[in-house]
């Protein structure tokens, strides 16, 4: 069953057969509605073991001004068999950081270092004590070859002004990965063939008294045991899908977030997304 109602303050959506054609994409698809729960929590047990493509990995949490929260880490094989992981990093300092960089050092069963792989959280700046999502890949390193991983996190340079982080997020609907309903929106159209990606539609509202710059929505899907299964981002656009350089005070932007990964996409069905917003 496909049920849709338009959200207050937005033009209605027309449903033609199994195709959604948007006059405004801000509709509520009741069949796919998702709750938004902010990521929270403190430092976790660093000895929690996770499965990496059949190998048991015990992540370590770095000490100092930033850390990786070990029990939020999910690691496994990408579609090509290479190692990848996602989780939450935390700003442990008493002040905002320009960003958080995460490093994963992979080791094989023979104790040999397979490589060091770095990533930066898409959420920036990072408030004091805040946890933000990250995802890291290890191209060319098979997940089955990774016997252990050592995690570290550091604060990166950049503006620590968090004024652009105070955007209000409203998630209107999510279409599950592989769902048969066809989307035909100003900013996205399903391809003629192939599996449909997961699509999440939301809005970002500038509730401050001053304009903010380009806006980004960061979404992390978390498993029932608290592990981050996937991380994805979307840029703020106008109702026609055009790019927005800024959002005026009291204004809003539309955001579409896509997940087309054939491994992660099906695993997100029924999981609750957590959201972070930022503008520069």
The more confident residue out of 279 and 14 is 279
> What's the whole-number mean pLDDT along residues 234-259?
95
Sheet of 182-185, strand order: 14-16, 19-21, 182-185, 188-189
In 98-238, DSSP assigns E strands to 99-107, 113-120, 131-142, 148-156, 167-175, 182-185, 188-189, 198-206, 215-222, 228-237
* Residues 6 or more apart whose Cβ sits within 8 Å of residue 46: 58, 59, 60, 61, 70
Q: Measure the CA–CA gap between 2 and 211, rounded to whole angstroms.
A: 37
Averaged confidence pLDDT in the chain: 80
Element (H, E) at 278: strand 272-279
Q: For 259-276, what is the mean pLDDT?
A: 96
pLDDT at 35: 30
The residue among 23 and 123 whose pLDDT is bigger is 123
Give how far Cα 254 sits from Cα of 22, 39, 74, 129, 220, Å: 12, 22, 29, 29, 18
Higher pLDDT, 55 or 122: 122
Query: What residue has token string 């500038």?
Result: 206
Contact of 74 with 226, CB cutoff 8 Å? no
How far is it between the farthest Cα atoms of the chain?
A: 61
More confident residue, 37 or 186: 186
> What is residue 64's predicted lDDT score, i.e. its pLDDT?
53
Give the residue with greater pLDDT, 271 vs 6. 271
Q: What is the residue extent of each domain of the chain?
A: 4-33+162-279, 50-156
Would the pLDDT of 53 be above 70? no
Are 162 and 203 in contact, with CB atoms under 8 Å apart?
Answer: no
What is the per-residue burial (b if ≥16 Cβ within 10 Å, else e) of 229-241? Answer: bbbbbbbbbebee
Establish whether the linkage from the previous residue to 125 is cis, with ω within 30° of 0.
Answer: yes
Q: What class has domain 50-156?
A: mainly beta
**Which tens digits make up the pLDDT trace of 180-214?**
999 999 889 998 889 999 999 999 999 989 999 99
Q: Which of 26-30, 108-112, 185-189, 233-237 has the lowest average pLDDT?
A: 26-30
Q: How confident is the model at residue 165 (pLDDT cuts 50, 70, 90)?
A: confident
pLDDT tens for 101-141 read 999 999 999 999 999 999 999 999 999 999 999 999 999 99
């Amino acid at each position: 069953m496909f049920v849709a109602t338009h959200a207050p303050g937005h033009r209605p959506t027309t449903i033609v057969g199994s195709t959604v054609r948007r006059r405004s994409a801000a509709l509520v698809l009741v069949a796919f509605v998702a709750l938004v729960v902010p990521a929270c929590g403190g430092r976790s047990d660093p000895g929690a073991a996770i499965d990496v493509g059949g190998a048991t990995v015990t992540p370590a949490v770095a000490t100092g001004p930033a850390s990786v929260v070990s029990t939020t880490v999910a690691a496994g094989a990408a579609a090509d068999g290479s190692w990848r992981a996602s989780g939450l990093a935390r700003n442990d300092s008493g002040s905002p950081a320009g960003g958080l960089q995460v490093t994963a050092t992979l080791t094989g069963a023979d104790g040999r270092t397979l490589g060091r792989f770095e990533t930066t959280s898409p959420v920036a700046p990072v408030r004091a004590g805040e946890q933000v999502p990250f995802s890291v890949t290890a191209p060319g390193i098979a997940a089955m070859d990774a016997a252990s991983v050592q995690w570290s996190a550091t604060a990166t340079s950049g503006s620590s002004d968090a004024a652009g982080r105070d955007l209000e997020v409203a998630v209107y609907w999510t279409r599950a990965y592989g769902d048969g309903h066809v989307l035909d929106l100003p900013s996205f159209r399903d391809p003629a063939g192939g599996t449909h990606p997961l699509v999440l539609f939301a809005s970002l509202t500038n509730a401050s008294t001053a304009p903010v710059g380009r806006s980004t929505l960061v979404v992390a899907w978390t498993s029932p045991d608290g592990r981050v299964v996937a991380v994805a981002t979307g840029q703020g656009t106008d109702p026609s899908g055009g790019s927005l350089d800024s959002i005026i005070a009291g204004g809003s932007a539309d955001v579409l977030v896509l997940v087309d990964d054939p491994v992660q996409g099906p695993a997100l069905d029924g999981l609750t997304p957590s959201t972070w917003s930022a503008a520069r």
